[in-house]
Structure 1
Amino acid sequence: MNLSQTDADRQPSIRAYRSEAVAERKIDEFIGIIKGVLADGNVSQGEAEFLLQWMNSNREVAAVWPASVLYPRIESALADGALDSDEERKLLDLLLATVGGNTAPQNGESSDATTLPLTQPAPGIVFVARSFCFTGKFYSGPRDWCHQQVISRGGFPAEGITKKLHYLVIGEIGSRDWLHSTHGLKIQKATSYAAGGAPLAIVSEEHWMKHLNYHVE
């Protein structure tokens, strides 16, 4: 096979990689916009219209979480040209849920949209024949140690996020900055799969550690 043919064979995968990279940057931008909207704890009609306009202008990510969840809801809310108080409340709740809740008012702050989107209520953890993916940094030990805890209890570690994954465990160190970190992409993908019906639970290191005591070696 000559060089030109090899290059031609590679073009689809190169285009797909570049497209995925662009989509990831756009989603990160979109989440940043949502955080800005949530900064004052309210969603105005102008802000809702801006979000819808952004998604219409970036249709390549309209099918990617969180745009895929927000687009039809915002479009429906603005269908009559006005955002009433009930629609505003529901949209605010949806935006908060999309990027991770809001406990900041308890601390005298406006928003803490970087809160992790953990599965609620936190599920019980079964180790036998279950797959675990770890992301972030862990107080409990290095990644290899975490993997060994799973293996010794009958489970198996996974390196990436798939629809067949059972648990994504997020390390506590630096977790508040997940939206703008490398492991944030894993969390976004896991959240998207879970929202689509995949049996995937997102749990904290603390919750995972508690279950280690229930399943001793």
Structure 2
Amino acid sequence: MTDLHGEFAASRFFHEARMDRRSADALVGLSAGLIADGAINQQEAEFLHSWIKNNLANLEDPVINILYRRLSDMLQDGVLDDEESAELLAMLNSFAGLNLAQPKPTLKEFAASNDLPLCNPAPELIWNNRTFVFTGVMAYGPRKVCQDLVAERGGIIGGSVSKKIHYLVIGSVGNEQWRHSSYGTKIIKALELRESGVPISIISEKHWQQNIFS
């Protein structure tokens, strides 16, 4: 039914953000169910692709869009091979906030951050005169300590995400919201810039640590 006069949208029962959150939550649960046995086959992948297409096509969530595009690429030739199946399994574990070694949803306040926004492959880090912005909770320590390590190597610390920054570092301790479509404005802004062609790299704290201490 078409809401010609905006009556449904104006109703107190209608809340777009809440509906988007509910849809994203449903996808998290669906992903957890599909990978519960530690594997994902062609039929399951096709079902997931169809479900996202039918239910989340208009959901403006950059991470879910990444998941949908990667899944579309895998199924483009009509065959989900073993390598793609393994990649999809890891991707859905990440999306659902699960651990590969213990694939069960967690009720803890903090969980591993979703790694779908990350650049793949991870880029080489250049420190001198490159601008870094941090988001999320860093496992290494307080954000100020992490920023000082970058500054010591000639890097510049930015306050917000813009076309002028080079790296967005996502702390490895993500809050619970990151598993339910609320990834924080910094991540969303960086994804939008990257999609528009801006050469901004989104990296994990793990990759940052590997480079900072190499």
| TM-score where L is the length of structure 1 | 0.57
1:36 aligns to 2:33 (yes or no):
yes
- Cα offset, 1:125, TM superposition: 1.6
Cα separation, 2, equivalents of 1:189 and 1:94:
25
- Cα offset, 1:51, TM superposition: 4.2
- Cα offset, 1:149, TM superposition: 3.1
CA shift digits 1:171-201 (9 cap, x unpaired) = 34x3496743898445566567657754333
| Correspondence for 2:8 | none
Where in structure 2 are there 5+ consecutive unaligned residues?
A: 1-14, 106-111
1:130 aligns to 2:123 (yes or no):
no
Asked if the contact 2:170/2:205 (under 8 Å) is kept, the reply is yes
RMSD of aligned residue pairs (Cα, Å): 4.6
Asked if the contact 1:164/1:198 (under 8 Å) is kept, the reply is no
The one-letter code sitting in structure 1 at the alignment partner of 2:36 is A
| Correspondence for 2:56 | 58
| TM-score where L is the length of structure 2 | 0.57
| Correspondence for 2:115 | 116
Identity of aligned residues (%): 25
| Correspondence for 1:93 | 87
Q: After superposition, where does 1:1-217 map in structure 2 within 5 Å?
A: 23=20, 26-27=23-24, 29-40=26-37, 41-43=39-41, 45=43, 48-49=46-47, 51-61=49-59, 64-67=62-65, 70=68, 74=72, 77=75, 86-87=79-80, 89=82, 90=84, 93-94=87-88, 96-97=90-91, 100=94, 104=100, 107=101, 109-110=102-103, 116-117=115-116, 118-162=118-162, 165-172=165-172, 174-175=173-174, 179-180=178-179, 184-185=183-184, 186-187=186-187, 190=190, 194=194, 198-213=198-213
- Cα offset, 1:131, TM superposition: 1.9
Where in structure 1 are there 5+ consecutive unaligned residues?
A: 1-17
Cα separation, 2, equivalents of 1:70 and 1:153:
38
Deviates more, 1:194-203 or 1:152-161: 194-203
Q: 1:58 to 1:213 in 2, by over 3 A?
A: closer
Cα separation, 2, equivalents of 1:64 and 1:58:
11
Asked if the contact 2:161/2:190 (under 8 Å) is kept, the reply is yes
Cα separation, 2, equivalents of 1:190 and 1:98:
22
Q: How many residues align?
A: 188
Asked if the contact 1:129/1:155 (under 8 Å) is kept, the reply is yes
- Cα offset, 1:169, TM superposition: 1.8
Cα separation, 2, equivalents of 1:70 and 1:182:
14
| Correspondence for 1:5 | none
Q: 1:181 to 1:163 in 2, by over 3 A?
A: farther
CA shift digits 1:16-49 (9 cap, x unpaired) = xx86776466445434433332222214526633
Q: 1:126 to 1:140 in 2, by over 3 A?
A: same
SS in structure 1 of the partner of residue 58 of structure 2: helix
Highest RCO, 1 vs 2 (Cα 8 Å, sep ≥ 6): 2
Larger radius of gyration: 1
